């Protein structure tokens, strides 16, 4: 029997990358999966495979975390049997552009802040009161090594992840005295669609990010996330900072010479 048999795990941004890998890893532990992203077609395609992998059940719905009213209404109007969320993985996020701050595009800044900071807050605000009321829950926020150390031309993305760090720590303080746990997962470079999204579909530029380096895989990150969710209920893992062996921090990489 899986370690999270029958527990309801809500994953935002489950249609790709780390979120999709989390769905797979939680499925293997027997969880009931509540999956959200804008690309509902992808979530629907994933569903049979997740059930086959061990998910007790799957409920997928389209959600743009930038839309506060839509987030509130989606959580409020969940089918009765999906309302008791045990684990929230606040994963939805993105980067846009790699520009010097003074030459950046304000619409890119808005999208990153609206998704990575405000979206995470909206989902948290909608889900956590139920956890407090039921006296059980775990919020796992997706941070980054980018929130620990700012890198050139990435100031706004790094700022969103520094904000995640502050929100993660603040939420843990505000939940002290309740049994609700709060964890930040802070990975370095992970090979996903992240760079493709950052460079708006420029494959060649995205591929260069991972050239001559072994990055983390989405499954590596999902493994750490499931580990934090399967500790004894009195153990709160505050933060997991993780990189591949080819990365020391958000600035230093071991690119192999060929
Ligand atoms: P990815 O492969 O591009 O996946 C991003 C996911 O977020 C997709 O499922 C996307 O789904 C969803 N998403 C984006 N905007 C959304 C919105 N407004 N509403 C709902 N869902 C939204 O990238 P990833 O690397 O897995 O990124 C996942 C998280 O990990 C992000 O928070 C990212 O900042 C963080 N992270 C990534 C890395 C890395 O190197 N890859 C490192 C550290 C942290 P839809 O497009 O279908 O909505």
Which residue has the least CA distance to atom 8 on ligand 1?
13
Note the pLDDT of residue 257. 80
Residue 258 has pLDDT above 90, yes or no: no
Gap between the Cα atoms of 183 and 168, Å rounded: 7
Pocket-testing residue among 14, 16, 114, 142, ligand 1, by greatest number of atoms within 8 A of Cβ? 16
Ligand 1 residue neighbourhood (C-beta within 6 Å): 12-19, 37-39, 63-66, 91-94, 115, 119, 142, 144, 187, 189-190, 192-194, 197
Share of the chain above pLDDT 70, in %: 100
Task: Kindly write down the DSSP assignment for every residue of 166-229, as one continuous string.
Answer: HHHHHHHHHTBTBSEEEEEEEES-B-SSHHHHHTTT-HHHHHHHTTTS-PBPHHHHHHHHHHHH
8-242 under CATH 3.40.50.720, yes or no: yes
Gap between the Cα atoms of 10 and 207, Å rounded: 30
Note the pLDDT of residue 234. 97
Share of the chain above pLDDT 90, in %: 98
Nearest to 40 by CA among 76, 21, 15, 12: 15
Ligand 1 midpoint to CA 142 (Å): 9
Is 122 an active-site residue? no
Note the pLDDT of residue 1. 85
Average pLDDT, the chain: 97
In this prediction, residues 159-171 reach a mean pLDDT of: 98
In this prediction, residues 68-72 reach a mean pLDDT of: 98
pLDDT band for position 187 (cuts 50, 70, 90) = very high
pTM for this predicted structure: 0.98
Dihedrals φ, ψ of 234, to 5°? -90, 0
In this prediction, residues 143-151 reach a mean pLDDT of: 98
Nearest to 166 by CA among 239, 234, 97: 239
Instruction: List the domain boundaries for the chain.
Output: 8-242
Structure-token pair, residue 129: 């009161």
């Amino acid at each position: 029997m899986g370690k999270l048999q029958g527990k309801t795990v809500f994953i935002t941004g489950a249609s790709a990358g780390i979120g999709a890998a989390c769905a797979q890893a939680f499925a293997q532990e027997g969880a009931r999966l509540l999956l959200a992203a804008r690309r509902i077609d992808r979530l629907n395609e994933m569903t049979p495979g997740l059930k086959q992998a061990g998910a007790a059940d799957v409920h997928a719905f389209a959600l743009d975390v930038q839309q506060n009213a839509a987030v509130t209404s989606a959580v409020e109007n969940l089918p009765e049997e999906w309302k008791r969320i045990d684990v929230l993985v606040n994963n939805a996020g993105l980067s846009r552009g790699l520009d010097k701050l003074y030459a950046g595009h304000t619409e890119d800044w808005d999208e990153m802040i609206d998704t990575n900071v405000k979206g995470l807050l909206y989902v948290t605000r909608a889900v956590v009161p139920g956890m407090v009321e039921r006296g059980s829950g775990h919020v796992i926020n997706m941070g980054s090594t980018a929130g620990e150390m700012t890198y050139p031309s990435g100031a706004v993305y790094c700022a969103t992840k520094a904000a995640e760090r502050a929100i993660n720590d603040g939420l843990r303080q505000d939940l002290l005295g309740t049994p609700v746990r709060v964890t930040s997962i802070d990975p370095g470079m992970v090979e996903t669609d992240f760079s493709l999204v950052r460079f708006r579909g420029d494959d060649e530029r995205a591929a260069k990010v991972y050239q001559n380096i072994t990055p983390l895989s989405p499954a590596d990150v999902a493994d750490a996330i499931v580990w934090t969710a399967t500790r004894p209920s009195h153990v709160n893992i505050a933060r997991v900072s993780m990189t591949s062996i080819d990365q020391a921090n958000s600035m230093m990489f071991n690119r192999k010479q060929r």
